[in-house]
Structure 1
Amino acid sequence: RLLATDQTDLPGEQVARVIESKAKDFPVGSLVCVHAGWRSHTVIDVTQPRIFGTGVDLFHEVPGISPSLWLGAVGMPGVTAYLSFLERCEPKSGEVIVVTAASGAVGAIVGQLAKTCGLTVIGIAGSKDKCEYIKSLGFDYAINYKEDNIS
Structure 2
Amino acid sequence: MGLFTDGFKLLKKASEPLYKTPKSIQETIEIMAVAEKGIFEVSKNKYSKCYRFQDINYTTATEDEQIGIFERYCKFLNSLDCNYKITINNKNKNMDELRDKVLIAEKNDGFNNYRSIYNDIIEEKIIEGRQGIE
TM-score category of the 2 structures, normalised to the smaller one: under 0.3
Structure number with greater Rg is 2
RCO higher in structure (CA 8 A, sep ≥6):
2
Structure in which a larger fraction of residues adopt strand: 1
TM-score, normalised via structure 1 length:
0.22
